[in-house]
């Protein structure tokens, strides 16, 4: 039986769809470079999910921009994207997410960090999110995790 979706590196033509997905989920849109993205496409080559690993000036690397269109959620798309990105990017990876998503990422070996254990980029981001109450509308906090 053929998989209902496949994964491939993003192309420049995918960028508008990647950007729409990220903005629709209210994920931080900074650092969107299509060349870092892995995308999931259905049998009609429609983009149904994406994710990237991006580097920061402090040397840390982040698993980021993991998004799946609502109609394709709970079908293994996010898991496939995350597993492929982790396999292709060994070593230490960080991520930020809403606190309710912590258990999902724990399944991939991530664990939450305290501010004093975060690299500078993530410490600043965590402080900013806290000061601005960025996730208060969702009743959540920003979680910084490492693997």
What are the pLDDT digits (tens) for 30-70?
889 999 999 999 999 999 999 999 999 999 999 999 999 99
Residues 57 and 8 in one domain: yes
Q: What is the mean predicted confidence (pLDDT) over 123-144?
A: 74
Greater confidence, 80 or 99? 80
CATH number at residue 84: 3.40.630.30
Residues 59 and 28 in one domain: yes
The mean pLDDT value of the chain amounts to 90
**How many domains does one find in the chain?**
2
Q: The tokens of 130 are what?
A: 């806290």
DSSP code at position 140: -
* Element containing residue 23 per DSSP (H, E): helix 15-24
Residues 109 and 127 in one domain: yes
Exposed (0-12), middle (13-18) or buried (19+): which is 72, by Cβ within 10 Å? middle
Strongest mean pLDDT among 46-50, 132-136, 139-143: 46-50
How much of the chain exceeds pLDDT 70, in percent? 92
Residues 2 and 44 in one domain: yes
Residues 85 and 17 in one domain: yes
User: 16 pLDDT band (50/70/90 cuts)?
Assistant: very high
Residues 86 and 105 in one domain: no
Residues 109 and 59 in one domain: no
How much of the chain exceeds pLDDT 90, in percent? 73
Q: Position of tokens 């906090």?
A: 141
Residues 6 and 22 in one domain: yes
Q: Position of tokens 């600043």?
A: 124
Report d(CA 53, CA 39) in Å as an integer.
Answer: 12
**pLDDT given for residue 133 in this prediction:** 62
Per the structure, the complete domain to which residue 110 belongs is given by 92-147
Residues 8 and 74 in one domain: yes
Q: What is the pTM of this model?
A: 0.89
84-94 confidence digits (pLDDT tens): 999 999 999 99
Give the CA angle between residues 62, 115, 119 to the nearest 5°. Answer: 40
The answer to whether 70 and 124 have CB atoms below 8 angstroms apart is no
């Amino acid at each position: 039986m053929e998989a209902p979706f496949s994964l491939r590196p993003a192309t420049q033509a995918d960028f508008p769809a990647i950007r729409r997905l990220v903005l629709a989920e209210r994920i931080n849109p900074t650092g969107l470079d299509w060349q870092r993205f892995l995308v999931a496409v259905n049998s009609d080559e429609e983009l149904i999910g994406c994710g990237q690993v991006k580097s920061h000036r402090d040397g840390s690397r982040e698993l980021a921009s993991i998004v799946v269109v609502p109609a394709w959620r709970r079908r293994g798309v996010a898991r496939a994207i995350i597993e492929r990105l982790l396999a292709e990017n060994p070593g230490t990876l960080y991520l930020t997410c809403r606190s309710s998503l912590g258990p999902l990422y724990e399944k991939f070996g991530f664990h939450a960090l305290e501010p004093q254990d975060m690299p500078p980029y993530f410490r600043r981001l965590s402080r900013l999110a806290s000061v601005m109450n960025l996730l208060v509308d969702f009743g959540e906090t920003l979680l910084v995790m490492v693997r």
